[in-house]
Amino acid sequence: QKTWRVAVLPGDGIGPEVIAQATRALDTLAASDPGLALEYDTFEWPSHAWHKAHGESAPADYLAQLAGYDAILLGALGDPGPIDDANRYLLSDSDSLAPLLEIRKGFDQWVCERPVRRLDGALQYLADPRANDIDMLVIRENSEGEYVNQGGRLAQGTPNEVVTQTAVFTHRATDRIIRHAFEQARARVALRKVEGRERDFGGKAAQVCLVTKRNAQKFWGDMYTEMFAAIAKDYPDIATHHELVDAACMKFVSHPWAFDVVVASNLHGDILTDLAAVLNGGMGVSPSANLNPSDRTRPPMFEPTHGSAPDIAGQNRAGPAAMLLTAAMMLDWMGEADEAAARAGQRLKQAVADDLAANADQRRATDTIGDAVIAALEKA
């Protein structure tokens, strides 16, 4: 039997509060299923508190420390206050990437998956009833693109200053992210069949929509478009579509139910998934995973889409659903190699969904929601 070793990184702000509910839920799941073995170590870094005490947001060898774990579960990173020298650790600069980006890069977590499936009882911002059946998966390229942070400042601070911020797109990374999108589309067809909620895209059961800005950014747009068309030939069962990112933003709001799998660059994916989180019912219910599907020996990182919400930190007010659903995504990932973990992921998702449905429109404390989910897990 596999014992999964998880590095727990509570981080900043509401991170520690919501992650406490997730580890309680995981403990409950493991206690009730002898087939599931989870072990975790909790680290005080990366965090602003660590930065204050040590002058850096994590120990110099922190990536090496994390490398031995099967998975990383992260609460949230980010500190309130103005972006001054003390607070800039989350931002990348030319010498050091932010820990978040460093972990993604360090373990080559080249895909970020952010599912969009509104649960009953979650906030509904859209009036059209079709918005209740949204079923999207946004796949964000997570290793390069606009996040490589190459470029520089010439004549800095003068009226002649010129700044370049270069985006980099490689054949290799484009190939793997687009193929991954098609693979996920296929997996969704199988799942939807089991669940009896098949969809139709002009005779095909799933669709991949590529997002670019090829009308303004030609080199990248051309390569993505050509490679998308070539790879699509290997997936004749999957429908294809292309949107420009500005139009995609509009359509995510006007008729999001028309989308299935969406694949986008790092920055476009970042922006689109904040928008998509609203379709889920908000940041409070939007999970996320950073994965390296080509090398399962390197730890993936599971973190909610939300940030550290400093305005409500320490008040027992943050909704833990996103963090709990993120923990469920971790169990799903483990579940690809461990039946007990797969079962646990299903149970946790169901418990969160039931809790939301039963308590729609109610303001409840963080630990009250955690208690309710745990009580449901103990019964089920």
Which range touches ligand IPM (CB under 6 A), out of 98-106, 165-173, 194-202, 357-365? 98-106
Number of residues that bind Mn ion (CB under 5 A): 1
Per-residue contact string for residues 73-112; x = within reach of Mn ion by CB under 5 A: ----------------------------------------
Task: Check the CA dihedral 285-291-297-298 and report its sign.
Answer: negative
Q: Does 100 bind ligand IPM (CB under 6 A)?
A: yes
The one segment of 18-26, 51-59, 94-102, 216-224 that binds ligand IPM by CB under 6 A: 94-102
Q: Say whether residue 278 binds ligand IPM (CB under 6 A).
A: no
Considering beta carbons, is residue 147 or 333 the nearer one to Mn ion?
Answer: 147
Q: Could you tell me the smallest distance in angstroms from the CB atom of residue 141 to ligand IPM?
A: 11
- Is the separation of the CB atoms in 199 and 192 below 8 Å? yes
Beta-strand ranges (E) seen in 43-106 are 71-76
With CA atoms as reference, report the closest residue to 176 among 103, 110, 104.
110
> How many Å apart are CA 259 and CA 133, to the nearest integer?
11
- 338 forms part of the interface with ligand IPM (CB under 6 A): no
For position 270 contacting ligand IPM by CB under 6 A, the verdict is yes
Number of chain positions touching ligand IPM (CB under 6 A) = 4
Cβ neighbours of 160 (radius 10 Å): 8
Counting contacts by CB under 6 A, is residue 79 touching ligand IPM?
Answer: no
Task: Give the binding range for ligand IPM (CB under 6 A) out of 3-11, 30-38, 95-103, 242-250.
Answer: 95-103
Sequence-distant (6+) residues with CB within 8 A of 39 are 3, 4, 5, 6
Among 70, 79, 270, 303, binds Mn ion (CB under 5 A): 270
What's the gap between Cα 255 and its chain centre? Answer: 22
Strand partners, 171: none
Give which of ligand IPM, Mn ion, none residue 209 binds (C-beta under 5 to 8 Å, depending on kind).
none
What DSSP element (H or E) covers 353? helix 339-358
Beta bridge partners of 242: 210
Which residue lies nearer to Mn ion by CB, 79 or 270?
270
Contact yes or no for 302/334 (Cβ under 8 A): no
- The one-letter amino acid code at 129 reads P
Residue with tokens 């992260």: 74
Instruction: Report the nearest approach of Mn ion to the CB of residue 83 (Å).
Output: 16
Contact range with ligand IPM by CB under 6 A, out of 96-104, 237-245, 308-316, 346-354: 96-104
Half-sphere exposure of 12 (CA within 13 A, CB side): 25
- Which residues are near Mn ion by CB under 5 A? 270
List residues binding ligand IPM (CB under 6 A): 98, 100-101, 270
